Structure 1
Amino acid sequence: MHVIQFHNFCHRVCTSGESKSKKTMGCATKFFGFIFLLVVFILGQGQPSLGKSPSTVPSGFKAKTFYRDYSQLSPTHDHFNAMINHSINRLYYFNNALTEEPVSLTHWGSWDYIIELGIGKPPKTYHLNIDTGSHLTWIQHKGCSTCIDKNKQAASYDDKNSTTSIELSCYDVECDEDGSINCDDDSGKCTYKAYYADGSNFTGLLYLDTFTFLSTDESDVVELEGVRLGGAFDCTQGAFHHDIQGVFGLSRNRRSFISQNGFLRFSHCIPSYKGMAEGPPVVRSNMMFGTAALLLGNSTAMTPHLHFYIVTLNGISVRGMRLWLDPSIFRMPNGRGRTIVDTGTPLTYIPEEAFNEVVETLEY
């Protein structure tokens, strides 16, 4: 069974100034919980370094990622309110997605986990938002006239400048139609459309191209050929941040980067929120893929799911004391776990009954 490392990452959900009763009821949720992922993402240190000769395709490798906070110039209370609203949106999305075929995810806020990688040959450096709730990796295409930031088209993907780019047609096996990926009968090209809960949607063509990653110590380059990605030609902007170039999809879906390349596991380290809030707007970190993602501590089994990373939460302890909670409140009717591990959700959510018990214990 697929196993990944994780740890609990909890923030207070309520805003100051609310009464105890309002705080308890208003900040709890009747849905499932989120645990902030400790498993992370990728690379990058500038385009010149990507000119090194790549090694053979490895069974695992290390790469760099970074966290970028766009909100440090805004008041603290605005930042926390935005995190709460963003987390609630993700919560509703995943709650619906567990009972329906997932077709979208909610938007990012002002905090982003970014992967830096080279796409194409010769490689050009891009920064994509990392998301374990996203299936397809996509990037703004140079031909997009409606994309998020028209002033940054120089940073967009241009398949004509890559010697390894292949535009997929309806007849390619990778053009597996299922709703979000379709065949355009008029042009014979393979298209995709990504919908988002904030009203954003991105439409474009599917390609195969080369992804290049610089190792953590900058001594080696890892090159993966024939990776499927979407090039967005038409964008309807909702609440996406204007700096986003695209999305790096790391879900369990067969279209994600992980599934395409056969990496059975990946891991990452993320800085604490306190460190991010008090530090610079860009904080570097690391990500490991495949055999480089070593599990040195305890592990937990993942609940089987086609798309998301789900664990079974059995209970909660406060100051070393296990709370009297019925484990069934953390599970779906079929008995399986329903706690989703998600990089795109800033706050941890637990069922209302558990939340009230935690608050009561902390106030005792």
Structure 2
Amino acid sequence: GEGEYMMELSIGTPPQLIPAMIDTGSDLVWLKCDNCDHCDLDHHGETIFFSDASSSYKKLPCNSTHCSGMSSAGIGPRCEETCKYKYEYGDGSRTSGDVGSDRISFRSHGAGEDHRSFFDGFLFGCARKLKGDWNFTQGLIGLGQKSHSLIQQLGDKLGYKFSYCLVSYDSPPSAKSFLFLGSSAALRGHDVVSTPILHGDHLDQTLYYVDLQSITIGGVPVVVYDKESGHNTSVGPFLANKTVIDSGTTYTLLTPPVYEAMRKSIEEQVILPTLGNSAGLDLCFNSSGDTSYGFPSVTFYFANQVQLVLPFENIFQVTSRDVVCLSMDSSGGDLSIIGNMQQQNFHILYDLVASQISF
């Protein structure tokens, strides 16, 4: 992928293994299916889902309550003999096709491949047409909070819990991240901390909003200069009810006033020559090949006195031998997003019943 984390979904009878991206920022589960237009099916030589080859696959009828219920999830169902879907993402990319159901399975935690948990009647989008760049994946596993996400569909059986530990970007290709569901999604130990998932009528019900209250760089609080008062102010008001954690976004994107203040603070603390953009990143330094230079740590402070201390590899990216770049950028809007690069090597638990995220 290109900064995405993938899982293999076992679906159908007999089972077909389909690699798909995990995304906490959306709800729909969809896979590239046979007869798909603009799907670039041979890009990686990976398989797609052949619906005709699965004896348990069924197209969803138009009169199904599940079909009509998809409108509240923003999936835009319509009827053409059977239920169809259309789903659009924030970058303008789209997927559309048939709404189907089939059997899926997951390997039981700590057990061999032949010990699996099966779930029948799982609803998903069988993609027949795509718009945008989907070459990096054969589908997408929505883990959002609305009704048709994977965690909501299986919630009664899995306790509405999931967790993951994303391996480092620098890990070898053989290294695997882990997604845990149900009872296996647990954090233990005296150092586990939890912060609430925020809800509200004005917040997107799909997304996992968190209360990011402040940021420090090298122990120094990031502050925003208020032109009206002529004083520095905390970043908290710029982030309150406007910050989400998302596995499907690569770099952390901060609302412009906060990002500019953070950028300035890092420039002041890193005594190295700055460079132009590199690999699409805004703030880069000439390290002369020495990444052991004392780059500052970054700490995010969340509600419930939760501190997330980010090490070098979660903050900076070595884009070439002599270039080190900040792996964060401006979101260009009010919303701030904590991306997967900042989440790597943390075990993160989402508990939808307790309405909290734990680290």
Tell me the TM-score range normalised by the shorter chain: 0.5 to 0.7
Whether 1:143 and 2:35 are equivalent positions in the alignment is yes
Aligned to 1:79: none
Structure 2 residue matching 1:316: 3-state secondary structure: strand
- State the shift of 1:288 in Å: 1.2
Give, in whole Å, the separation in 1 of the partners of 2:56 and 2:153.
17
Give, in whole Å, the separation in 1 of the partners of 2:252 and 2:92.
24
Structure 2 residue matching 1:239: 3-state secondary structure: coil
Offset from partner CA, 1:133-155 (integer Å, 9 cap, x none):
12100011112243222578982
- State the shift of 1:361 in Å: 5.8
Structure 1 residue matching 2:77: 3-state secondary structure: strand
Partner residue of 1:127 out of 16, 19, 27: 19
Aligned to 2:150: 257
Offset from partner CA, 1:108-132 (integer Å, 9 cap, x none):
xx23211112101221111111111
Say how many residue pairs are matched.
Answer: 244
Give, in whole Å, the separation in 1 of the partners of 2:263 and 2:94.
37
Aligned to 2:212: 313
Which amino acid is the alignment partner of residue 35 of structure 2?
A: G
Offset from partner CA, 1:265-304 (integer Å, 9 cap, x none):
211111233x33xxx3343121211222213301111111
Whether 1:195 and 2:92 are equivalent positions in the alignment is no
Give, in whole Å, the separation in 1 of the partners of 2:45 and 2:235.
51
Q: TM-score, normalised by structure 1?
A: 0.60
Summarize the alignment of residues 53-64 of structure 1 with structure 2, pairs less than 5 Å apart: none
Decide whether aligned partners of structure 1 residues 295 and 357 sit closer, same or farther in structure 2, where only a CA change above 3 A counts: farther
Give, in whole Å, the separation in 2 of the partners of 1:314 and 1:198.
27
Note the residue ranges of structure 2 that are not aligned, 5 or more in a row: 224-232, 272-359
Structure 2 residue matching 1:311: 3-state secondary structure: coil
- How much is the aligned-residue C-alpha RMSD, in angstroms? 2.6
Give, in whole Å, the separation in 2 of the partners of 1:267 and 1:177.
26
Note the residue ranges of structure 1 that are not aligned, 5 or more in a row: 1-68, 70-109
Aligned to 1:228: 123
Aligned to 1:29: none
Contact 2:29 2:149 in 1 (8 A): yes
Aligned to 1:34: none
Partner residue of 1:212 out of 105, 123, 127: 105
Give, in whole Å, the separation in 2 of the partners of 1:323 and 1:200.
35
Give, in whole Å, the separation in 2 of the partners of 1:363 and 1:160.
58
Aligned to 2:322: none
Which amino acid is the alignment partner of residue 203 of structure 1?
A: S
Give, in whole Å, the separation in 2 of the partners of 1:302 and 1:154.
36
Structure 2 residue matching 1:240: 3-state secondary structure: coil
Decide whether aligned partners of structure 1 residues 154 and 143 sit closer, same or farther in structure 2, where only a CA change above 3 A counts: farther
Q: Percent identity?
A: 29
Give, in whole Å, the separation in 1 of the partners of 2:46 and 2:263.
51
Whether 1:158 and 2:50 are equivalent positions in the alignment is yes
Aligned to 1:299: 194
Select the structure that is richer in helix.
1
Select the structure that is richer in strand.
2
Which amino acid is the alignment partner of residue 293 of structure 1?
A: A
Which amino acid is the alignment partner of residue 122 of structure 1?
A: P
Contact 2:217 2:266 in 1 (8 A): no
